[in-house]
């Protein structure tokens, strides 16, 4: 069941140190009474004590039943990603330590390691800063996600989507690892970058690998 999957991965956010306590949020595309939308973690509840009834349904038009609980205050960017990215079926947003640290520099992660291609391009973009929960932040995230399935969010954290929650979660963990490696690489100077040509080869190989 989709609601229990949201709970399972919300708890995993805590146990894998992607996000502590209430920070970060998880959603999965869903349908309720013929209405297209998504199930999302609620606002202000500890993930360790989440019950199925706490998971909130938000329609793709941004409607939800307030009596049934409040969705995460960051539901707008989930809505906008589902509306604009046809291959997004599940989303993981985290304030994970290393991704958040790198995001405070408001810069893309360059090709210091070939694995940056895991997000879909030759770098991992960082969405411009805007207040959490606003439509303007949603817009910034969508531009950073152009041809990408993950990005950093300035002074905030990271976001990853996929065809299911397992894949979105794994991608978020990968982004966190890359940020950890990037921080370490910077400690001993400026890393040598891979060329655009090499990154094209890597991207081609990754596409084939995914297909296979
Ligand atoms: Zn957040």
Predicted pLDDT at 102: 97
Dihedral over Cα of 79, 17, 140, 145: its sign: negative
Strands 150-153 and 126-127: parallel
The residue with tokens 């940020």 is: 179
- The answer to which of 43-52, 53-62, 87-96, 140-149 has the lowest mean pLDDT is 43-52
**Ligand 1 centroid to residue 22 C-alpha, Å:** 10
How many A from CA of 104 to the centre of ligand 1?
13
Backbone φ, ψ for residue 37 (5° rounding): -175, -150
Catalytic residue (choose from 74, 163, 166, 198): 74
Cα 42 to ligand 1 centre (Å): 13
Q: State how far Cα 113 lies from the chain centre.
A: 20
Render pLDDT for 112-142 as a digit per residue (tens, 0 to 9).
999 999 999 999 999 999 999 999 999 999 9
Give the residue among 186, 145, 184 at the shortest CA–CA distance from 168: 145
Distance 157 CA to ligand 1 centre (A): 6
Active site residue 74: yes
- The sign of the torsion formed by the CA atoms of 89, 162, 205, 114 equals positive
pLDDT in tens, 73-86: 999 999 999 999 99
């Amino acid at each position: 069941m989709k609601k229990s999957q949201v709970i399972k991965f919300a708890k995993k956010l805590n146990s894998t140190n992607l996000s502590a306590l209430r920070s970060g949020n998880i959603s999965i595309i869903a349908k309720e009474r013929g209405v297209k939308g998504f199930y999302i973690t609620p606002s202000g509840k500890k993930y360790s004590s989440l019950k199925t009834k706490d998971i909130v349904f938000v329609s793709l038009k941004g409607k939800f039943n307030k009596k049934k609980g409040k969705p995460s205050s960051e539901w707008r960017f989930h809505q906008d990603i589902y509306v604009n990215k046809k291959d997004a079926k599940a989303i993981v947003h985290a304030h994970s330590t290393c991704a958040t640290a790198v995001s405070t520099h408001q810069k893309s992660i360059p090709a210091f390691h070939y694995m940056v291609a895991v997000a879909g391009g030759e770098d991992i973009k960082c969405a411009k800063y805007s207040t959490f929960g606003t439509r303007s932040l949603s817009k910034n995230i969508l531009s950073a996600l152009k041809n990408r399935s993950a990005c950093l969010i300035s002074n905030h954290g990271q976001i990853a989507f996929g065809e299911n929650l397992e894949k979105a979660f794994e991608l978020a963990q990968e982004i966190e690892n890359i940020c950890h490696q990037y921080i370490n690489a910077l400690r001993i100077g400026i890393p040598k970058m891979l060329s655009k040509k090499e990154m094209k080869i890597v991207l081609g190989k990754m596409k084939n690998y995914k297909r296979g």
